[in-house]
């Protein structure tokens, strides 16, 4: 593979969502507001689950991990993009870019596996209710959570290592608001076909396979729910899954759509990247609180506890 020149890029320029100055100000305000709401909403869920003794089941243990992930994902991308919108200095160093790439896929990979675990938790609770407490014991849940972070770590290394080995010798403008493999492949000074195939196998197959596992889990769940004679009983049982099913759809559909395609069309899909990396972490707390009466009651108790402590 021929390299265009011997100079190596030491930093990149993030162009953001739009180069229009007026739109950049609008995007700054929107991203800042969404980020603050995301932080507040997920911190509220974490505090509620930590304080309330009624939320000690595996489902809420996994939900607390999801809230932590939803805090981390926008934190990796949004603060730097806010600087891009307002500052004339839009550069990001090569090291910082690779770090952002690593953290984004580390946390995103962990979320993929976590959503599978949450589907498995619902499967055991509905399809094998008598054995639920035995199977989903605390030690096993802790082991599962450690495993998803380990898998996320492996996924991140598989994503970053081939990217860091690519020669970057200019241009250095990233037509995106954060560093991702697809956007970096467009700047490499050599053929990236092998890297793109590796990326598709890594990120694309990961998201697609996790989504299929969740789909199969819900096929068994729906089959079990349909055997319940009472309509009210069927709805009450399946209602425990609707929040998770909504989150799965919001997360996996954009990811599969993006990472199963060539990098040449990736930059054109910035709105989709905004959706799954910023909007989805914002929506998740609302999805779980609005559709979960137990969580709403716990938040009310948390509010009463705070008021009583202040008085």
Per residue in 180-225, pLDDT (tens digit) is 888 888 888 887 778 777 877 787 788 888 889 999 999 999 898 8
Structural domain includes residue 6: no
For residue 35, the enclosing domain spans 11-310
Shortest CA distance to 141 belongs to which of 208, 65, 78? 65
Share of the chain above pLDDT 90, in %: 35
Residue 294, pLDDT above cutoff 80? no
Domain-located, residue 4 = no
Q: How far apart are CA 206 and CA 106, in angstroms?
A: 12
pLDDT for position 52: 81
Please, which pLDDT band fits residue 1 given cuts at 50, 70 and 90?
Answer: very low
Distance (Å, whole) CA 53 – CA 57: 9
CATH of the domain at 32: 1.20.1070.10
Model pLDDT, residue 240: 75
Model confidence pLDDT, tens digit, residues 4-33: 445 577 889 888 887 777 788 888 899 999
What pTM was computed for the model? 0.88
Q: Let me know if residue 190 belongs to a domain.
A: yes
Local structure of residue 165 (DSSP, 8 states)? T
Rounded distance, CA 266 to CA 16, Å? Answer: 14
Q: Percent of the chain having pLDDT more than 70?
A: 90
Task: With cut-offs at 50, 70 and 90, classify the pLDDT of residue 263.
Answer: low
- Higher-confidence residue: 117 or 284? 117
Cβ neighbors of 140 (< 8 A, separation 6 or more) are none
The number of distinct structural domains making up the chain is 1
> Hey, how many other C-beta atoms are within 10 angstroms of the C-beta on 216?
12
- Please give the Cα distance from 184 to 280 (Å, whole number): 24
Is pLDDT at 84 greater than 90 in this prediction? no
Mean pLDDT over the full length of the chain: 84
- pLDDT for res 265: 54
pLDDT digits (tens, 9 = 90+) for 48-77: 888 887 788 898 899 999 999 999 999 999
Residue pLDDT, tens place only, 138-158: 999 999 999 999 999 999 998
Q: Is 271 domain-assigned? A: yes
Structural domain contains residue 48? yes
Domain-embedded: residue 305: yes
Determine the pLDDT at residue 117. 94
- Per the model's pLDDT, the better-predicted residue between 310 and 169 turns out to be 169
Q: Contact at 8 Å (CB) between 195 and 34?
A: no
Instruction: Tell me if 3 is assigned to some domain.
Output: no
Going by pLDDT thresholds of 50, 70 and 90, the confidence category of residue 304 is: low
Cβ atoms of residues 112 and 207 within 8 Å? yes
Residue 295 maps to a domain = yes
């Amino acid at each position: 593979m021929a390299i265009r020149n011997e100079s190596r890029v030491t930093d990149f320029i993030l162009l953001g969502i739009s180069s229009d100055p007026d739109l950049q100000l609008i995007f700054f305000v929107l991203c800042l507001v969404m980020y603050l709401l995301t932080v507040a909403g997920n911190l509220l869920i974490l505090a509620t689950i930590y304080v309330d003794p009624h939320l000690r089941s595996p489902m809420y243990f996994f939900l607390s991990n999801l809230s932590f992930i939803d805090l981390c994902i926008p934190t990796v991308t949004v603060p730097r993009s806010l600087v891009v919108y307002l500052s004339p200095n839009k550069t990001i160093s090569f090291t910082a870019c690779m770090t952002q790439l690593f953290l984004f896929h580390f946390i995103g990979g962990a979320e993929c596996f976590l959503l599978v675990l949450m589907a498995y938790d619902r499967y055991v609770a509905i399809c094998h209710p008598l054995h639920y407490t035995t199977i989903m014991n605390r030690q096993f849940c802790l082991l599962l959570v450690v495993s998803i972070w380990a898998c996320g770590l492996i996924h991140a290394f598989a994503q970053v290592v081939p990217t860091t080995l690519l020669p970057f010798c200019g241009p250095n403008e990233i037509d995106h608001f954060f560093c991702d493999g697809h956007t970096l492949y467009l700047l490499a000074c050599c053929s990236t076909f092998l890297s793109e195939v590796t990326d598709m196998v890594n990120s694309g197959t990961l998201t697609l396979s996790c989504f299929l596992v969740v789909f199969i889990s819900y096929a068994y769940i729906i089959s079990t729910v349909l055997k319940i004679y009472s309509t009210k009983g069927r709805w009450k049982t399946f209602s425990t899954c609707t929040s998770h099913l909504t989150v799965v759809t919001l997360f996996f559909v954009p990811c599969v759509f993006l990472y199963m395609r060539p990098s040449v069309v990736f930059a054109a899909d910035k709105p989709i990247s905004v959706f799954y990396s910023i909007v989805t972490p914002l929506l998740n707390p609302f999805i779980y609180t609005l559709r979960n009466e137990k969580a709403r009651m716990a938040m009310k108790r948390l509010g009463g506890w705070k008021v009583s402590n202040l008085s």
